[in-house]
Structure 1
Amino acid sequence: MTTSTNTRTTPGGDAGGGALLYGCMGLGGTWGPEPYGPAEIEAAEAAVATALDVGITVFDHADIYRHGKSEAVFGEVLARSAGLRERIVLQTKCGIRLADGDHPGIYDLRGPSIVQRVEESLKRLRTDVIDVLLLHRPDPLADPDDVAGALTSLHRQGLVRRFGVSNMGAAQIASLAARLDVPLVANQLEMSLEQRDWLEAGVVLNTGAAAANGFPYGTLEYCRDNGIRLQAWGALAQGRFTGRQNTPEQHAAAQLVSALAARKGVTPETVVLWWLQRHPARIAPVIGTTDPERIHACRPAAEGRPDLTHEEWYALWVAARGNPLP
């Protein structure tokens, strides 16, 4: 599948993502071999329509989501909606191969595998170009020159407009970026009020807690300095601060989230997303719920203007960590 390079401007802000992204992992039915049907297509249409209604135009996929069914059902939505493709930014990921029979799940960023996975995603999504392709996980056996060669070929053929990574640290990103003529535009990491290693790494330095923090220090700074947009997967923390609390720290933070939401006239989901967006690294949260009501609850965050003071932001952080700052 080939096409000429297309450089049309896509919505949703810069190529690394808008204020919010819609994560499509929940679309397409089960994770099993069962095919999707009309019910799954209708559910996908409802989720996409609601996301657009609240101002989200960037849709995040991966070739492994629901064993490809998430992309396929989204392709059905695109086929049914004239003009929709031109209104959105379409992002997908490759690099993970799921377990199959006696074969374990592995990471695979060999050049030919990247090209094959992209061609398969294009067919499922029923489009001739992917706006942003992310490398899903680092592959320890990957040859950076081989990876860069595959990405360069995909770009020159017009199959992919922009590239990024996911779950990678600064050194890994820099090694790949040095081999590419096009800039990397995004790094997608797990980031939330619950998952805070990315934040804690910058303040536990020179303390006893530093050894337990595995986040590669300097990654946020590298991304900021090089125009790489941080995208936060798991941004709503599976509802741990909006109704599914399990620990004393989550209960304390949830109470503060609720109080701030009431004071500002927004939903608790919005406050949780604002906490990420308030960080100067320009974090774009990815929301993955398929519930239209919960998507609507994120509407104020889609505007990208977090209404949290310096003190409110810190109060949420301290409540969630359960201990004073070092």
Structure 2
Amino acid sequence: MKIHVIMFVAIVMAASIQAQPPCMPDYPSFYFAIARPVSVPELDTEMPNEVRSGLVALDSISRTYGRTKVDSILDARPDWDDTVQTFLKYLTILTDYNPLALLRHANTTEYRPYSHYRDIRIGIAGAIEQYSPSKSLDAALTSSDYIALVTVNDTVGLIDTGAKIARTVRVVSSTVDSAVYGRVFPACDQQHMATTSEHERRCLTFNVHFETIYKARSEKNLPRDAITIASKMPLPGRQYLVFLFLYPVCRDADTAYISIRPASWIGSECGVFEVVDSKVVDTTDYFGLGTNPSVNDVISIINSRIRQIVSYQSLTLWK
């Protein structure tokens, strides 16, 4: 594969376009690696009881039900019932506690899971669309592994000539100013970022694709000319409220290789909402607070919805 570097900003990110993963030697963009666990669920004595219960239940589902069965269980709900709310509760608890634990479980070598947490997310999406009292927030939470307020440090642009569609990539390195959802991050050195202070050890590096933004805005009938799309690409020195998910690149016998991408279907800003003077740019009022709400107000309603979800008193499932 021939890689054309079309933009290079700052020294730190020079190390983030690393050697390609062995299982996909043509992949040129950012990724990090995790060891595939040989035994799951991975439990420890420090875990809250609901996290432990959730991981045990997830493991049972993964060993028993395929994705079609998971879909049928969730798609068949007649309303916002106990089953849907319980699945949503534990999915939210587990993701907020440690998204990487869910990722590791999905990549276990102990057995081949019939389904995993991403299948539950897909299955619950229909119920959210039909019945959720907070559709936008619930869709954002079930689509994301991380919601965070970040400041972009550096970017690198490249062309992935091996990709079928999403070829124009911007690799974005950022410092996490505030972790809203998803509390455990890949270590900064895994993300190939140098750090100079304890605060800077909370980092997020993610890949933004020009073509993905174009497609998402096309589906929403929003302006998608080249200038508009370019304006949605993150820039150094600016702050953003980001909604990101862990994307599997490939895996081999012992290691899974993972990238991080914006959930581009979230709002007009495609999962990356710029924050200017402490105000969120939200041109289609995704959060229901107007087109230029305070970032603190947006974070507050997200946190409030998380508290509502996790405080639900389940009647039967996963007790």
- Answer yes or no: same fold by TM over 0.5: no
TM-score by length of 1: 0.28
More strand by share: 2
TM-score by length of 2: 0.28
Higher relative contact order (CA 8 A, sep 6+): 2
More helix by share: 1
